[in-house]
């Protein structure tokens, strides 16, 4: 029988990784959808409307998955990590509550208008609702990344000891709300995460549209959407590289152990530090097998100075070292995929500019595959960030010159929960999530194969719809039967 | 503002969020419970599902925000309640996921077995979610085996006995009644007539269970009436509750279904208030030793956090309420199917 700790870690990693498939796509698609609708609003071209209606349907399927798997995350802190929840409730809870009030209500409310409101509200109101859903999903990311960043680089708090039935227990309490929100890593991590999501959305749209071009289907809509998706993809992949660089640079001050793990940098030397392009770290012998190293580069990247050595894992006490192999590989995977995405989107934009896009089939196929690269990069980045901070669930930090206690992941568990309970929840959710994933892929594929309506179909649908509404109005105003009692009173 | 007053305000605000959730998601779950019995063909099923289509997601957010606010305002209660109800809670989450995806996926494919599968999923998840909410409420009322340092010493089996099960039946019948009145408002013609015929038996079932649970509470949970005994003014809560229940048939008889819906919302509000009055000042009562109770005082966060959160709530809630009203206004009237429907 495995113990509660390892099971709880597996459960948390599994549920959050599954959840994290959907929100980045919702955020990224949200922007593409908004841009399509904005184009429709300004040009009133039915092809843009067909595009926006199509992406709305794709968005809705994805959004429902994000919401339903997200609700699990919110309660999991209490069910599986009760000790952690008591320790950080004062801090972490307020960010979560702010997410509920400022983000979830906004997105879920206007989602109704976005998905069901096409025939009920005007284009202006619909455009506004799309913007609100997009902003809501961004706000949601803001608060959740702030909460997570606080655990990585805590700020604006102090530790208070409480007497719990005779035993003193520590708790982190907020002393400065804005210092908590704008902790040293919030802004860097938030911009990098959001841009990662926008990259995914842009490539998703570009991928589906390139597929249509390959199959000679829905070409009008596909070309229009590509004119938005390709430049945004290039813009955001470059921005992702820049923000990623920033994010990594602050690690040397805030989480040197994570930086050392990401680079498998075992021993601090007097000489400048090099950067591995790839390799196979071996923690036991403190070596990197098959590694290819570029000299000076890590020093240059971290300090903007090629000569200054970067501290290695030997500066970290033995029992505070994170695993190395996984953060190393996921970090390098993310960087590699990022470079690939910059290359592909750069090529695509050049080809679009030269008006040869669509003739190079290899390029179309490359773009079709890009969402997988973007999704993998998002997940890999998350794994680097979370595994790299172990063994801490809340990092120890220095506040006003005072060393604050952290909380180890192993100490954050719910004491009253048994291994059997956690295991059964893993099995239950394993089955449900596998089923959901299959259904999601199936329905998404269905939607994509069906594709957007043509402009003519859409115009015909709207004409019929209008006639039906007029007939309904006529029926309601002419007879005393057919309506319900409420309406009768108003007549 | 004193720390104790802040604490009390947050207890009330959590009550507001919980009431918001039970009133709004109550009719969603009720519609889910009733749909296999009331809708006869595919078109009617779609009508029933689309009656809550644009709204259920926003309604569920009340629960999510309740969770976040409980975490922030009373972290000890959040941690203790959810880790104690571990298995029950995972089942509830399963149901909420099941309901969401049943609605979302059902009408996406034209296939009989596909639709049947999600129909069954929609019913089972709605029914079980309503039942589990009641079971959790019943256990909280009666007290649980809470040991020292907030450690729960019972298990799922000690949470399943006659009293919480009875409360579970009460919530199922209440949500079904609430959902039926909502459906009556949103449907027309033959389907509406069928819904109308279901309301009266549902009302009888609910009223009977209400009486049984009241007697059971008196016998099994003696401390439930302590607060009412100490402050007789609180008698107004059960009195209003009974009046609200009796007003439902009156409103229906008068032919004012919107008024009936308002009344059944008030029944839920009164029941939730009754629950709050009964448990105050505890979140969880220990059946082992009252010293181990999770109370407002030992579960709250720091005064600073409660104050910050109050500012957040004061800025956020007016926005939330205003766009909730806008959304309900946009989707007013009878439910109609179009190309965007489920």
User: Which residues of chain B make contact with A116, given a CB cutoff of 8 A?
Assistant: 53-54, 331, 340-341
Cβ contacts of A480 within 8 Å, gap of 6 or more: A488, A491
Q: Which residues of A touch B309 (CB under 8 A)?
A: 94, 97
Confidence at A483, pLDDT banded by 50, 70, 90: very low
Residues of A within 8 A of B305 (CB-CB) are 90-91, 93-94, 173-174
Min CA distance, B32 vs chain A (Å)?
A: 17
A265 to chain B, closest Cα gap in Å: 39
C-alpha separations of B85 from B20, B89, B317 in Å? 22, 6, 29
Residue A474, pLDDT > 70, answer no
How many Å lie between the alpha carbon of A344 and the closest alpha carbon of chain B? 34
| A436 interface with B at CB cutoff 8 Å | yes
Residue-level pLDDT at A260: 83
The answer, for B89 touching chain A at a CB cutoff of 8 Å, is yes
Say if residue A484's pLDDT is above 50: no
**Chain B residues within an 8 Å CB radius of A85:** 71, 75, 78-79
- Which candidate, B108, A426, A70, B176, places its Cα nearest to that of B117? B108
Nearest CA in chain B to A163: B298
User: What value does the mean pLDDT of chain A take?
Assistant: 84
Q: Are the C-beta atoms of residues A237 and A341 closer than 8 Å to each other?
A: yes
The pLDDT tens digits for A225-262 are: 998 999 999 999 999 988 988 888 888 888 888 888 88
Nearest to A67 among B57, B72, B308 (CB): B57
Which chain A residue shows the shortest CA-CA distance from B114?
A: A439
Tally the C-alpha atoms within 13 A of residue A444's C-alpha that lie toward its C-beta: 19
- Mean pLDDT (whole number) for B208-237: 85
Reported confidence tier of residue B177, pLDDT bands at 50, 70, 90: very high
Of B109, B151, B340, the CB nearest to A416: B151
User: A414 at the B interface (CB within 8 A)?
Assistant: yes
Q: Is A152 on the interface with B (CB under 8 A)?
A: no
Lowest model confidence (mean pLDDT) among A189-203, A270-284, B139-153: A270-284
Cβ–Cβ below 8 Å for B97 and A82 = no
Mean pLDDT of B116-136: 92
Percent of chain A clearing pLDDT 90 (strictly above)? 24
Partner-chain contact B78 A61, CB within 8 Å: no
Judge contact between B149 and B181, C-beta under 8 A.
no
Residue B173 has pLDDT above 90, yes or no: yes
Residues with Cβ within 8 Å of B183's Cβ and at least 6 positions away in sequence, in order, are B31, B34, B38, B48, B51, B195
Q: How would residue A478 be classed by pLDDT, with cut points 50, 70 and 90?
A: low
Instruction: Give B302's contacts in chain A (Cβ within 8 Å).
Output: 90, 160, 173-174
DSSP state of B146: B
Q: Which residues does chain B have within 8 Å of residue A23's beta carbon, measured at their own beta carbons?
A: none
* Interface residue B86 vs chain A (CB under 8 A): yes
User: Does the beta carbon of B114 lie under 8 angstroms from any beta carbon of chain A?
Assistant: no
Question: Do the Cβ atoms of A81 and A100 come closer than 8 Å?
Answer: no
B301 touches chain A (CB under 8 A): yes
B100 and A432 within 8 Å at the Cβ level: the answer is no
Strand locations in A203-359 (E): 275-282, 287-294
B81, A78: Cβ pair inside 8 Å? yes
**DSSP E strand stretches across B66-105:** none
For residue B340, give the nearest of A61, A68, A119 by CB distance: A119
pTM of the model: 0.86
Q: B322 at the A interface (CB within 8 A)?
A: no
CB atoms within 10 A of CB B40: 11
Q: Do B100 and A80 touch (CB under 8 A)?
A: no
Q: Give the Cα separation of B337 and B50 in Å (integer).
A: 8
| Three-class secondary structure of residue A53 per DSSP | helix
Is 50 exceeded by the pLDDT of residue A479? Answer: no
Mean pLDDT value of segment A285-310? 78
A465 interaction partners in chain B (CB closer than 8 Å):
338
Closest residue in A to B185 (Cα) is A484
Q: Does B341 touch chain A (CB under 8 A)?
A: yes
Helix (H) or strand (E) holding A172: strand A167-174
Looking at residue A477, its pLDDT comes to 57
Q: Which residues in chain A touch residue B67, judged by CB atoms under 8 angstroms apart? A: 74-75, 78, 96, 100
Distance from CA of B89 to the nearest CA of A (A): 8
Contacts with B63 from chain A: Cβ below 8 Å: 71
pLDDT one-digit tens code per residue, B245-282: 888 888 888 888 888 889 889 989 988 888 888 888 88
Q: State the DSSP string of B263-318.
A: HHHHHHHHHHHHHHHHHTTEEE-BSS-GGG-EEHHHH---HHHHHHHHHHHHHHHH
- For B265-301, letters b (16+ CB in 10 Å) and e give bbbbbbbbbbbbbbbbebbbbbeeeeebbbbbebbbb
* CA pair distance B112, B120, nearest whole angstrom: 12
SS3 B2: coil
Chain B 185-204, residues with CB within 8 Å of chain A CB atoms: 185, 188-189, 192
Determine the residue of chain B that is closest to A110 in CA distance.
B327
The DSSP 8-state label assigned to residue A92 in this structure reads I
B149 CB near a chain A CB, below 8 Å? yes
């Amino acid at each position: 029988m495995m113990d509660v700790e390892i099971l709880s870690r597996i459960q948390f990693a599994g549920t959050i990784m599954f959840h994290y498939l959907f929100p980045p796509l919702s955020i990224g698609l949200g922007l593409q959808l908004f841009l399509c609708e904005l184009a429709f609003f300004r040009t009133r071209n039915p092809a843009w409307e067909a595009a926006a209606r199509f992406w709305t349907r794709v968005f809705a399927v994805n959004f429902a998955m994000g919401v339903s798997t997200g609700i699990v995350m919110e309660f999991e802190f209490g069910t599986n990590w009760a000790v952690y929840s008591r320790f950080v409730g004062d801090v972490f809870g307020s960010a979560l509550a702010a997410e509920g009030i400022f983000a979830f209500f906004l997105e879920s409310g206007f989602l109704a208008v976005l998905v069901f409101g096409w025939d009920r509200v005007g284009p202006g109101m619909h455009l506004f609702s799309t913007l609100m859903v997009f902003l809501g999903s961004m706000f949601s990311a803001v608060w959740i990344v702030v909460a997570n960043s606080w655990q990585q680089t805590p700020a604006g708090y102090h530790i208070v000891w409480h007497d719990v039935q005779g035993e003193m227990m520590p708790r982190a309490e907020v002393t400065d709300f804005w210092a908590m929100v704008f902790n040293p890593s919030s802004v860097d991590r938030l911009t990098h995460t959001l841009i990662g999501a926008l990259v995914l959305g842009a490539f998703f749209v570009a991928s589906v549209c390139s597929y249509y071009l390959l199959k000679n289907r829905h070409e009008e809509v596909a070309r229009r959407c590509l004119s938005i998706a390709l430049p945004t993809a290039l813009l955001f992949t470059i921005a992702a590289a820049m923000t990623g660089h920033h994010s990594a640079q602050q690690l040397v001050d805030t989480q040197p152990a994570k930086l050392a793990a990401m680079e498998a940098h075992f021993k601090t030397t007097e000489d400048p530090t090099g950067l591995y392009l790839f390799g196979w770290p071996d923690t036991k012998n403190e070596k990197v097998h098959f590694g290819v190293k570029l000299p000076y580069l890590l020093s240059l990247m971290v300090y903007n100075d090629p000569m200054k050595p970067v501290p290695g894992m030997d500066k970290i006490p033995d029992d505070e070292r994170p695993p190395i192999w996984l953060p190393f590989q996921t970090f390098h995977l993310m960087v590699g995929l990022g470079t690939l995405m910059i290359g592909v989107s750069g090529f695509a934009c050049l080809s679009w500019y030269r008006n040869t896009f669509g003739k190079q089939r290899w390029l179309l196929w490359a773009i079709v595959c890009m969402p997988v690269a973007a999704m993998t990069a998002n997940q890999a980045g998350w794994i680097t960030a979370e595994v790299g901070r172990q063994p801490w669930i809340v990092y120890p930090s220095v506040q006003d010159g005072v060393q604050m206690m952290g909380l180890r992941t192993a100490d954050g568990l719910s004491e009253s929960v048994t291994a059997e309970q956690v295991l059964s929840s893993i099995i239950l959710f394993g089955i449900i999530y596998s089923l959901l994933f299959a259904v999601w892929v199936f329905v998404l594929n269905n939607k994509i194969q069906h594709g957007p309506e043509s402009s003519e179909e859409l115009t015909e649908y709207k004409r019929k719809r209008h006639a039906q509404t007029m007939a309904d109005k006529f029926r309601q105003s002419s007879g005393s039967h057919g309506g319900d009692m409420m309406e009768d009173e108003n007549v | 503002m004193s720390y104790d007053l802040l604490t009390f305000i947050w207890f009330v605000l959590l009550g507001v969020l919980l009431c918001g959730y039970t009133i709004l998601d109550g009719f969603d779950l009720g519609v889910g419970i009733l749909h296999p019995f009331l809708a006869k063909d595919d078109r009617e099923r779609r009508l029933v599902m689309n009656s809550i289509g644009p709204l259920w997601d926003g309604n569920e957010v009340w629960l999510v925000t309740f969770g976040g606010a409980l975490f922030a305002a009373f972290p000890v209660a959040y941690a203790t309640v959810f880790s104690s109800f571990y298995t029950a809670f995972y089942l509830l989450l399963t149901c909420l996921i099941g309901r969401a995806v049943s609605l979302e996926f059902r009408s996406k494919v034209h296939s009989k077995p596909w639709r049947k599968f999600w129909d069954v999923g929609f019913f089972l998840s709605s029914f079980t979610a309503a039942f589990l909410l009641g079971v959790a409420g019943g256990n909280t009322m009666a007290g649980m085996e809470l040991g020292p340092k907030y450690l729960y010493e019972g298990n799922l089996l000690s949470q399943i006995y006659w009293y919480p099960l009875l409360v579970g039946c009460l919530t199922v019948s209440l949500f079904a009644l609430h959902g039926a009145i909502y459906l009556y408002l949103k449907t027309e013609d033959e389907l509406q007539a069928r819904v109308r015929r279901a309301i009266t038996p549902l009302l009888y079932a609910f009223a009977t269970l209400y009486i049984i649970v009241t007697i059971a509470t008196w016998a099994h949970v003696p401390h439930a009436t302590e607060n009412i005994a100490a402050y007789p003014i609180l008698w107004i809560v059960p009195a209003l509750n009974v009046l609200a229940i009796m007003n439902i048939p009156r409103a229906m008889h008068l032919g004012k279904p919107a008024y009936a819906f308002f009344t059944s919302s008030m029944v839920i509000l009164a029941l939730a208030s009754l629950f709050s009055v009964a448990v105050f000042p505890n979140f969880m009562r220990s059946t082992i030793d009252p010293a181990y109770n999770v109370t407002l005082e030992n579960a709250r966060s720091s005064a600073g956090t409660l104050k910050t959160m109050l500012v957040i709530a004061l800025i956020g809630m007016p926005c939330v309420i205003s766009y909730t009203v806008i959304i309900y206004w946009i989707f007013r009237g009878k439910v109609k199917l179009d190309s965007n429907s489920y």
